[in-house]
C-alpha cells in the first residue's frame, strides 16, 4: 500500500554510509499513510516529534523536524493535490544507522501520487522579498541536513530528507 | 484553535489559542481582517497560548502586516512561545515584525 | 501493505449505522505502520491524541484514547510478538460518519501478524487482585465504547474499537 | 526519561522526568529497587515531571508497593499530573496508593 514498500521483512542495520538522501533498502520503521487533509497535520507532526525525541534529538530540534514535515505536507496538500481531500500521502521514518539502539540521525521520506513537477521548480523565495507565503521550502532546507525532491517512477513526487544528531553531524561535516 | 478578540481604547488584541497551522490559518485570517477594518491605532496579536505555528500562520501575519502598514495601525506580536519564536527566526522575520515579550509592553511600545 | 487495505480509492462518507466494532468499507483516513518496538509507542499515541483532538474530543478523552492505544500496542509487543523488535503493527483511524466535517466519533483498528490466540482468552484481571500487571485490557475496555478482538483470516490478531463523542454517545446510548 | 534520586534524612525521593511507558519501565524499576534496598523509612515517588504513564509504569509502582509493605518503608506518590492521575483512577488504584499533592506533604503525611 505504501510506495516505500519494504523489500525484506527482516530488520537489517541501516548502513551508515548509505546516502542520506536516498531510500534505504530496509523497511521504514514507521510509516504514516494519510489523506491530504489539513486536519491530519497535527497528528503527523506530533508523531515525528515524538519519534525524533526517542532517537535522541533535543526538544528544539524535534519541534523543527515536525515543522519541516508539516511544511512538506502542506505543500503536497496545497500544490500537489490542489486541496483535494482524498489524495494519499506516505510519511516514512528510519533511524540512521544505530549503535546499540542509539541512532545517528533520522531519515524522512514523503511520497505522494499528485501531479509531477520538475524538482528544480520547487524552490523557496528570496527572503528579502517579504510577502505572505513562499517560506515552506526555505524552512525545510534550513531545518534538514539533506533535502532532495524527485519524480517517483510510478507517478507522484518524493521528498527525501535527513538530519543527523549533533555529534554525528560534527563527525560527518553536517549542519548542527 | 479558538480566537479571543478584545477591543481596548486604542488597541485591539487578537489572541488565538491552540496550534496555528494550515487547518485554521484562514479562520485566523478572518479575525485579523475584521480587526484591521476597524482601523485601530494598534493591533496586538497575543501568541501566548499558541504552542505551534507553521508557515501558513506566518503568512497570515505577514499579510496583516502589509495591510496595517497602509493605514495608521501599528501591528505588534507578543508573548511568543519558544517553538513559535523559532519559526520567525528560521524565516528571518523576527526583525521584520515588532515582537515584544508581554501584552503590557505591546500596548506601550512605540 | 497494510492489512486494512482500502477497497476503494475514493473517500465515501462513512455510514453512521455501520457497526462500531467492524472494519468500515472505506479506506482508513490515517494508518500508522510500525515495528514492534517500545520506542515507537510515544509517536503512535501522540498521533492518536492529536487526531482525536481534531475530531472534537476534549483533552482528557484524547489522553485516554492515547492510553488505550498504547496499552493495545504494548500487549502486541509483549504477548503477540514476545518482544521481538521486527514484528509489524498497523494502527488505522477513521472518523465515525461526519456532518460537515464534524465526526461523531473515532474508530480505531489495530492489526498484527503475531501468533493467534482465542479472543476469549484476552481479558483483564479482577481489579481486587492487586498485582503488578494485568491492567491493559481493563483500561482499554474502560476507555472505549466498543472493543472486540478477532483472529485475522490472513494470520495475526485484530483489535477493533471505537468511541463516540459525548453528544453522539448520549443519542446512541453509548458510554460517555 | 531521566530519573533523579535524592536521599534525605528519613526518606528517599525518586523523581522520573518524562513519559513513563514500556520503553522505560524497566529503568524506573531498577531505580525503585535500589532505593528500596536501602530500607528508608519513606520512599517518595515525585511524579511532578511525568506528563504520561501507561500500565507498565503503574505495574512498576504496584511492585514497589508490594516490596515496601514487607519492610518498614512507607511508599508515597506525589504531585501527579492530570493525565497520570487519570490512569490511577481508571485502574481504581487511587485508593490503594497513598497519593498527595506536594512533596512537602509526602514527607510529613502519616
Ligand atoms: N509538493 C509540491 N508539489 C508541487 N509543487 C510544490 C511542492 N512543494 C513546493 N512546490 C512549489 O514550490 C513553491 C515554493 O513552495 P513554498 O516555499 O512552500 O512556498 P509557497 O507554498 O507558499 O508558495 C510553491 O509555490 C510550489 O510551486
Ligand atoms: N495482543 C495480544 N496478543 C496476545 N495475547 C494478549 C494480547 N493482549 C492481551 N493478551 C492476553 O490478555 C492478558 C491480559 O492483558 P493485560 O490486561 O494487558 O495484562 P498483562 O498484559 O499485564 O497481563 C495477557 O496476559 C495476555 O495473555
pLDDT, tens digit (0-9, with 9 covering 90-100), for A133-176: 889 999 999 999 999 999 998 899 999 999 999 987 666 554 44
Q: D17 and D2 in contact (C-beta within 8 Å)?
A: yes
* Total Cβ atoms within 10 A of residue C122: 16
Q: Do A127 and B92 touch (CB under 8 A)?
A: yes
- Out of C77, C78, C138, whose CB is closest to D91? C138
For chain D, helix, strand, coil in percent to 5 are 40, 25, 35
> According to the model, what pLDDT value does residue D90 have?
94
Closest-CA residue of D relative to C130 is D62
A6 CB within 6 A, ligand 1: no
10 Å CB burial of residue A40 (0-12, 13-18, 19+) is buried
Q: Do A34 and C39 touch (CB under 8 A)?
A: no
pLDDT band of D80, cuts 50, 70, 90:
very high
List, in order, residues 6 or more apart from B106 with CB less than 8 Å away.
Answer: B11, B13, B42, B44, B46, B76, B77, B78, B100
Q: A155 and A100 in contact (C-beta within 8 Å)?
A: no
Query: Is C35 a residue whose pLDDT tops 50?
Result: yes
Closest-CA residue of C relative to A103 is C39
Cα D14 to averaged position of ligand 2 atoms, centre (Å): 29
CA–CA distance, D91 with D70 (Å, rounded to integer): 23
Query: Is C1 a residue whose pLDDT tops 70?
Result: no
Residue nearest to atom 10 of ligand 2 (CA): C122
Which C-chain residues 96-125 have CB contacts (< 8 A) with chain D? none
Please give the backbone phi and psi of residue B55, each rounded to the nearest 5 degrees, phi first. -70, -15
> Does chain C reach chain D with at least 3 CB pairs under 8 Å?
yes
ipTM: 0.92
In the sheet where B74-78 sits, what is the strand order?
Answer: B2-7, B11-17, B42-46, B74-78, B98-100
Residue keyed to cell 483470516: C153
Q: Which residues pair with A88 in a beta bridge?
A: A35
CA–CA distance, D58 with D88 (Å, rounded to integer): 8
List, in order, residues 6 or more apart from D70 with CB less than 8 Å away.
Answer: none
Segment (H or E) for A150? strand A146-151
Query: What does the pLDDT average to over C15-32?
Result: 76
- Can you tell me whether residue A147 is helix, strand or coil? strand
> According to the model, what pLDDT value does residue C172 have?
59
- Out of A39, A70, A132, whose CB is closest to B63? A132
Q: Is D33 on the interface with C (CB under 8 A)?
A: no
pLDDT band of C173, cuts 50, 70, 90:
low
Task: Report the Cα–Cα distance between both ends of chain B, in Å, rounded.
Answer: 30
C167 CB within 6 A, ligand 2: no
Choose among C139, C160, C141, C140: nearest CA to C149. Answer: C160
Q: Which residues pair with C157 in a beta bridge?
A: C151
Q: Which residues of C4-23 are buried (b: 16+ CB within 10 A; e: fewer)?
A: bebeeeebeebeeeeebbeb
Q: Is C61 on the interface with D (CB under 8 A)?
A: no
CA–CA distance, D9 with D41 (Å, rounded to integer): 9
Query: Is A11 a residue whose pLDDT tops 80?
Result: no
A117 CB within 6 A, ligand 1: yes
CA–CA distance, C51 with C94 (Å, rounded to integer): 10
> According to the model, what pLDDT value does residue C14 have?
37
* Total Cβ atoms within 10 A of residue D38: 10
Region of poorest pLDDT, from A64-68, B97-101, C93-97, C123-127: C123-127
CA–CA distance, D88 with D47 (Å, rounded to integer): 12
pLDDT band of C133, cuts 50, 70, 90:
confident
Assigned C-alpha cell, D30:
531498577
> According to the model, what pLDDT value does residue C134 have?
87
Best probe of the C interface among D91, D93, D94, by most C CBs < 10 A, is D91
Residue pLDDT, tens place only, D25-69:
999 999 999 999 999 999 999 999 999 999 999 999 999 999 999
The bridge status of strand C88-99 relative to strand C102-112 is antiparallel
* CA-based max dimension of chain C: 49
CA–CA distance, C89 with C110 (Å, rounded to integer): 7
Assigned C-alpha cell, B50:
499558541
Q: What is the pTM of this model?
A: 0.91
Amino acid at each position: 500500500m505504501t510506495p516505500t514498500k519494504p523489500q525484506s521483512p527482516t530488520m537489517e542495520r541501516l548502513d551508515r554510509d548509505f546516502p542520506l538522501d536516498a531510500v534505504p533498502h530496509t523497511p521504514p520503521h514507521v510509516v504514516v499513510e494519510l489523506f491530504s487533509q489539513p486536519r491530519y497535520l497535527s497528528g503527523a507532526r506530533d508523531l515525528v516529534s515524538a519519534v525524533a525525541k526517542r532517537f535522541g534529538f533535543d526538544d528544539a530540534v524535534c519541534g523543527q523536524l515536525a515543522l519541516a514535515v508539516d511544511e512538506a505536507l502542506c505543500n503536497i496538500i496545497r500544490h500537489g493535490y490542489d486541496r483535494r481531500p482524498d489524495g494519499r500521502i506516505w510519511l516514512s521514518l528510519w533511524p540512521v544507522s544505530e549503535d546499540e539502539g542509539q541512532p545517528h540521525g533520522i531519515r524522512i521520506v514523503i511520497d505522494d501520487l499528485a501531479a509531477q513537477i520538475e524538482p528544480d521548480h520547487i524552490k523557496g523565495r528570496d527572503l528579502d522579498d517579504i510577502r505572505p507565503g513562499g517560506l515552506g521550502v526555505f524552512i525545510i532546507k534550513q531545518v534538514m541536513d539533506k533535502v532532495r525532491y524527485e519524480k517517483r517512477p510510478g507517478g507522484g513526487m518524493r521528498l527525501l530528507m535527513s538530519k543527523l544528531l549533533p555529534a554525528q553531524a560534527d563527525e560527518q561535516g553536517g549542519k548542527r | 484553535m479558538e480566537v479571543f478578540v478584545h477591543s481596548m481604547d486604542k488597541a485591539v488584541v487578537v489572541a488565538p489559542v491552540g496550534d496555528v497551522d494550515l487547518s485554521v490559518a484562514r479562520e485566523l485570517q478572518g479575525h485579523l481582517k475584521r480587526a484591521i477594518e476597524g482601523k485601530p491605532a494598534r493591533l496586538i496579536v497575543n501568541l501566548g497560548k499558541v504552542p505551534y505555528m507553521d508557515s501558513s500562520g506566518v503568512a497570515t501575519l505577514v499579510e496583516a502586516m502589509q495591510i496595517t502598514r497602509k493605514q495608521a495601525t501599528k501591528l505588534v506580536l507578543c508573548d511568543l512561545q519558544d517553538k513559535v519564536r523559532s519559526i520567525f527566526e528560521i524565516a528571518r522575520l523576527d526583525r521584520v515584525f515588532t515582537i515584544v515579550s508581554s501584552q503590557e509592553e505591546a500596548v506601550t511600545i512605540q
